[in-house]
Structure 1
Amino acid sequence: MRLRLLTTAILLGAIAMPPASSASPLEKYRWKHRLLVVTGPDDASARRQRRFYDAAKAGMTERQIILLEALDDGVSSHQVRAAVGTDGHRFKVYLIGKDGHTAFASQTPISADDLFKRVDAMPMRRDEMLRDRSKER
């Protein structure tokens, strides 16, 4: 009887565990970085979003925002698009919080100022800013 229960428990555990390859490519960033995920074709909108990001690199670094582009037909781009739930046929940009949840999505590029306002209003970011201020004292 114990052997049967043990075997059943092992089998159920194996079924419940997803294969390593099915893990989200975004998972490695969770609790470490915010993500600005850009999907779609490598078109004018994608290039504009990249320029917004590059022009405000210091602010992006301060807020721990990483740009992640899924603009081609490669396996990693397909995985990123699947993780955010889009087919990639049209431009879309997603702000993913450190907790892994989508905080904002847009079908048009988002300016650095607008992005920073959204991020700075997030509870986790507000805590980070308070900690940074207390370190300065």
Structure 2
Amino acid sequence: MVAKRGARRLALMLVVLVASTALGPPAAAADELGDYRWERRPLLVFAPTGSDPRLVDTLGRVEASRCDFLDRDMVLGVVVTEGNSTVDGRVVNDHEAQRLRTQYGIGDDAFSVLLIGKDGGEKLRVNDVPDLEAVYAVIDGMPMRSREMSEGPGPC
């Protein structure tokens, strides 16, 4: 039983590591989400713990659609109450994680996924594992994304 739990934790850590590093390099000095304004679209995933099954499922879905994720200039933020929180592969301290929870009205035991637009505004909120095709459809319906797509097809 203990070995099984340890193997699960190792697998989870690997998923988080792969997802956070494979989704692109950290932005220089990105201490605030405002540093991404007009450049990237943060997808913030809030969970009680790093081992929450909904978080693990969400990270797996993001990794499975990595090209679509990157093509839409997205950056991943994982904010957990217990464990290490990251934004764009960079660890954020507990104070910053709590500030994000407070800013977006997310309780310590809640699971929620927020899409933040390049303008810094909240564009979508779901309280379960997100359907990423629906998230991508929201982005694709944005005027700024329409301009991006008209500049040429993405790599996906």
Given candidates 84, 93, 97, the residue that maps to 2:117 is 97
Q: Distance in 2 between matches of 1:59 and 1:96?
A: 16
CA contact (8 A) 1:92 1:106 kept: yes
Instruction: Normalising by structure 1, report the TM-score.
Output: 0.74
CA contact (8 A) 1:119 1:125 kept: yes
- Bigger fraction of residues in helix: 1
Correspondence 1:1-137 to 2 at 5 A: 25-42=32-49, 43-73=52-82, 74-132=94-152
Letter in 2 for 1:29: Y
Q: Deviations over 1:25-61 (max 9, x none)?
A: 2111111100110112131111111111111111111
Bigger radius of gyration: 1
| Number of residue pairs the alignment of both structures matches | 110
Q: Distance in 1 between matches of 2:81 and 2:108?
A: 9
The share of aligned pairs that are identical, in percent, is 26
CA contact (8 A) 1:70 1:76 kept: no
How big is the shift at 1:131?
Answer: 1.7
Instruction: Normalising by structure 2, report the TM-score.
Output: 0.65
Q: CA RMSD in A?
A: 1.6
CA contact (8 A) 1:25 1:80 kept: no
Q: Distance in 1 between matches of 2:103 and 2:60?
A: 24
Q: Deviations over 1:53-78 (max 9, x none)?
A: 11111111100111101113522211
Q: Deviations over 1:96-132 (max 9, x none)?
A: 0000000000101112211111111111111110122
